[in-house]
């Protein structure tokens, strides 16, 4: 295997890879050619991701596995399902998208994840963890029902295997004896380090090779004896029970093979060929290294989970004396940093405060909290349902749990939020990150529905900050509220408003006038902005001489102020970075209808469709939620 210590700045020579337009080409290659292809694939992956940015370490770790799978399986006739999709870049390169990789995660370019509309080789669209076994099982059962002969294969990581959904699928597959293959890619990583009993078991015992050695030695010794095959089988079963996960998976109905070296390409090819034609549920355990072949990523797999685009070195400028300037403005904080610092301060002030994350320590900025308060920090692995339910249990004991979770991932814990938290009126705080359009990760990661699915939940308080200071104040208000409360905030930095060090709660259910009409316009317009939309709305309100009201609290609404706005304005416009259906604007409209008001309104928000990937500024423009789009929509309404 060729090793790299830096990302190539020029496109590497890849003669074998350049000849592969579909996996059919690599199925005719020799073992030596396959090894060369894997080296070229790794080099090209490094170069292309360096050009665009994107998920990095996971793809490097499955280069050999990807080559072996496409060599052994007749894709796309055989269905190959990648879990999450972070590791699918090599798959995309080998399936006709090599030259399109330079558009990865860019506006109108390749998706960061497998996507059915993009290629027939992308059999299932993914983005959230732990869905692959269920999807592949469904494909296998569909083929059985249709009388078609094909193999379905799911590739799942040991991090994704910690989720309950994966085990639900394994149990069902074993029960119905489906012809499918599950490949466990065991690299001891998800994004953060894996946690949980199963992950620890795999990492500590199963990734070692005593079982493999004992199995081979035992069969060699027993093979000359009468009845040796039956004895070998029984002996193997007992050995498996002592030192491998075979008992677990075989009791669920799978034929377990492994663990094998996931970077040993000849062994992978031979094993997959042998398993391809076996009937019933098959389970192959491969051990890989995240970031394999790129030494910096092997040393720091968390830091190299994804990278940003590499900038070309600029020409050396002539050194000049520094200009005299005023003191620089404070650098805007990321909202997740506001949350992380607030949680540490809240924990220092109240020993009941507990931080919970479903495997997103770095993304939610809980690193500092995990170090300063390790006894009050819980990473529950990729288990959003459990994260919410365990928080409910903690609240029953008088604790004040804070669940740090992405908007798109909270969807997976929705039943627990309703049934386990809200119905029981338990004191759980939800810090909902990545609300709104997150950008390059696309529709599976946009937080475009949370206000709609949270606003209808009884007993729940819901707020959205316009800036960093409001975010901190709202988090303090949510924590102080004696019941379920949520603060939803966007990805990235705020507008640059400084935060105080105190923990003063912001008043729940009170909005804020940020501007009032100063002249005498023919039509008096009030713009009610939610969260991140306050920034473009400020510009629009100034240009149109309109009232600008910062809603702050989505539930409960500021009834008094909103009724006052209706009485004083001819048109009320609501603007939110959320689906219009069921969102904050719908809540304002409901308030007016229930008050018997025939108030003219214009509701602006995300369209009734899934927004694709691109830079947030591009997506907001297309959705009409930048300043120009908001103004155009209002002027169109006024003109009509």
Which residues are annotated as catalytic?
A: 290, 384, 412
| Phi and psi at residue 186, to the nearest 5° | -95, 100
For residue 459, whether the previous peptide bond is cis, meaning omega lies within 30 degrees of 0, is no
Render 266-303 in DSSP notation, one character per residue. Answer: HHHHHHHHHHHT--SEEEEEEE--TTTTBHHHHH-TTT
What is d(CA 480, CA 372) in angstroms, rounded to the nearest whole number?
22
CB contact at 8 A, 575 and 604: yes
Task: Give the Cα separation of 640 and 638 in Å (integer).
Answer: 5
The two tokens of residue 546 are 């309109």
CB-based contact 171:249 (threshold 8 Å): no
Residue 488 DSSP SS3: strand
51 within 8 A of 102, measured Cβ to Cβ: yes
Contacts of 572 (CB under 8 A, 6+ apart): 525, 526, 528, 565, 566, 588, 592, 599, 600, 601, 602
- Do 282 and 255 meet the contact criterion of CB atoms below 8 Å apart? yes
Contact 61, 288 (CB under 8 A): yes
Cα–Cα distance for residue pair 435/438, rounded to 1 Å:
7
Could you give the angle at the alpha carbon of 303 between the alpha carbons of 297 and 306, nearest 5°?
A: 85
E strands, 187-330, are: 255-261, 281-287, 306-307
3-state secondary structure of 410: helix
């Amino acid at each position: 295997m060729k090793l790299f210590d830096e990302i190539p700045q020029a496109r590497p020579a890849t003669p074998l890879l350049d000849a592969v337009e579909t996996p059919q080409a690599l199925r005719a290659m020799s073992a030596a050619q396959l090894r060369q292809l894997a080296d070229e694939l790794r080099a090209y992956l490094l170069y292309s991701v360096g050009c665009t940015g994107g998920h990095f370490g996971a793809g490097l770790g499955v280069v050999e596995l990807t080559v072996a799978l496409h060599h052994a399986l007749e894709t796309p006739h055989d269905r190959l399902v990648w879990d999450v999709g972070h590791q699918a870049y090599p798959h995309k390169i080998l399936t006709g998208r090599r030259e399109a990789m330079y558009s990865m995660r860019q506006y109108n370019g390749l998706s960061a994840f497998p996507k059915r509309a993009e290629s027939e080789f992308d059999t299932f669209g993914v983005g959230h963890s732990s869905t692959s076994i269920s999807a592949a099982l469904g494909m296998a059962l569909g083929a059985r029902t249709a009388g078609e002969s094909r193999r379905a294969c799911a590739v799942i990581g040991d991090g994704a295997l910690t989720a309950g959904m994966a085990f639900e699928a394994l149990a069902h597959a074993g029960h119905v004896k489906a012809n499918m293959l599950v490949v466990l890619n065991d690299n001891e990583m998800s994004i953060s380090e894996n946690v949980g009993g199963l992950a620890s078991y795999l990492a500590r015992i199963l990734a070692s090779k005593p079982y493999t050695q004992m199995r081979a030695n035992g069969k060699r010794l027993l093979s000359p004896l009468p009845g040796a095959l039956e004895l070998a089988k029984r002996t193997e079963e007992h050995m498996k029970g002592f030192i491998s996960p075979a008992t677990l998976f075989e009791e669920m109905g799978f034929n377990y093979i492994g663990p094998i070296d996931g970077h040993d390409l000849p062994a992978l090819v031979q094993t997959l060929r042998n398993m391809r034609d076996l009937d019933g549920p098959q389970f192959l355990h491969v051990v890989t290294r995240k970031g394999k072949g790129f030494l910096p990523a092997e040393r720091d797999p968390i830091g190299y989970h994804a990278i940003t685009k590499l900038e070309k070195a600029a020409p050396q400028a002539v050194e000049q004396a520094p200009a005299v300037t005023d003191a620089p403005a404070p650098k805007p904080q990321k909202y997740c940093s506001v949350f992380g610092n607030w949680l540490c301060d809240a924990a220092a002030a109240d020993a009941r405060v507990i931080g919970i994350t479903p495997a997103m320590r770095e993304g939610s900025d809980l690193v500092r909290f995990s170090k300063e308060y390790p006894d009050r920090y819980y990473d529950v692995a990729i288990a959003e349902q459990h994260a919410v339910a365990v928080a409910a249990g903690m609240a029953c004991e008088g604790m004040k749990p804070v669940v740090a979770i992405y908007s798109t991932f909270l969807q997976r814990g929705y039943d627990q939020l309703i049934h386990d938290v809200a119905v029981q009126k338990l004191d759980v705080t939800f810090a909902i990150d990545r609300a709104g359009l997150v950008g390059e990760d696309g529709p599976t990661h946009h937080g475009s529905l949370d206000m709609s699915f949270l606003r209808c939940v009884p007993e729940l308080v819901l707020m959205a900050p316009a800036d960093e200071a409001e975010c901190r104040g709202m988090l303090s208000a949510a924590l102080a509220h004696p019941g379920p409360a949520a603060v939803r905030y966007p990805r990235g930095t705020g507008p640059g408003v400084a935060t105080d060090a105190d923990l003063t709660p912001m008043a729940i259910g009170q909005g804020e006038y940020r501007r009032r009409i100063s002249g005498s316009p023919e039509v008096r317009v009030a713009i009610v902005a939610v969260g991140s939309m306050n920034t473009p709305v400020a510009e629009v309100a100034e240009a149109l001489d309109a009232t600008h009201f910062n809603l702050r609290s989505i539930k409960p609404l500021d009834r008094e102020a909103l009724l006052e706005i209706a009485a004083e304005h001819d048109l009320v416009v609501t603007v939110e970075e959320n689906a219009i259906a069921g969102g904050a604007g719908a809540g304002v409209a409901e308030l007016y209808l229930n008050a018997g008001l025939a108030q003219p309104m214009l509701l602006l928000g995300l369209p009734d469709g899934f927004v694709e990937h691109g830079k947030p500024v591009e997506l907001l423009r297309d959705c009409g939620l930048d300043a120009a789009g908001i103004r155009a929509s209002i002027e169109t309404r006024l003109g009509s």
